[in-house]
């Protein structure tokens, strides 16, 4: 399988969460920043997330964007929505998503909304349950998205016609 070249895509990025972190040393605290970034091409249906860490916010965002571009996955879209209902879990964060009819829009919050916007999904119902930590929600959403399949693919897996 050929590796995806991010330069061939029209990648957009969005910052999901920025947190200030501290390292305690003898003379006090050393502050740094971590940025959770989602990058994707809505037209080609690719999306990925990345975590960047640095002493300054812009550098953390840049590193997160670069990592997100390296972690791009293909999103299976059916009629501008997702193919079927799906649950996902990461840590204590659960997400549930199901297809929505045309014209509904993205009914999701926080990290899930940003991921759906950049993945090219235009109509979806989604709910996060349990942990509201953006890292857990984003990882659970990507696990869900990566495990979608079309009806024909499932029949092939089951060796049916």
Do residues 152 and 84 touch, judged by C-beta distance below 8 A? no
Give the tens place of pLDDT for each residue, 114-129: 999 999 999 999 999 9
In tens, the pLDDT along 93-117 reads 999 999 999 999 999 988 899 999 9
Domains of the chain: 6-73 (3.30.160.20), 75-157 (3.30.230.10)
Whether pLDDT at 3 is above 60:
no
Please report the pLDDT score of residue 2 as a whole number.
47
Mean of pLDDT values over 139-150: 87
- Would strands 106-107 and 93-99 be described as parallel, antiparallel, or unpaired? unpaired
How many whole angstroms separate alpha carbon 83 and alpha carbon 92? 25
């Amino acid at each position: 399988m050929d590796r995806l070249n991010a330069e061939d895509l029209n990648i957009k990025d969005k910052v999901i969460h920025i947190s200030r972190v501290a390292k305690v040393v003898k003379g006090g605290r050393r502050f740094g920043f971590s940025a959770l970034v989602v990058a994707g091409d809505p037209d080609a249906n690719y999306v990925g997330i990345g975590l960047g860490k640095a002493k300054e916010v812009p550098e953390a965002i840049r590193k997160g964007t670069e990592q997100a571009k390296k972690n791009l996955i293909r999103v299976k879209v059916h009629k501008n929505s997702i193919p079927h209902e799906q649950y996902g879990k990461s840590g204590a964060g659960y997400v549930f998503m199901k297809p929505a009819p045309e014209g509904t829009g993205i009914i999701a919050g926080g990290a899930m909304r940003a991921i759906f916007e950049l993945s090219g999904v235009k109509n979806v119902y989604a709910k996060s349950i349990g942990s509201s930590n953006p890292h857990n929600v984003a990882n659970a959403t990507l696990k869900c998205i990566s495990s979608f399949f079309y009806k024909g693919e499932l029949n092939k897996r089951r060796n049916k016609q």
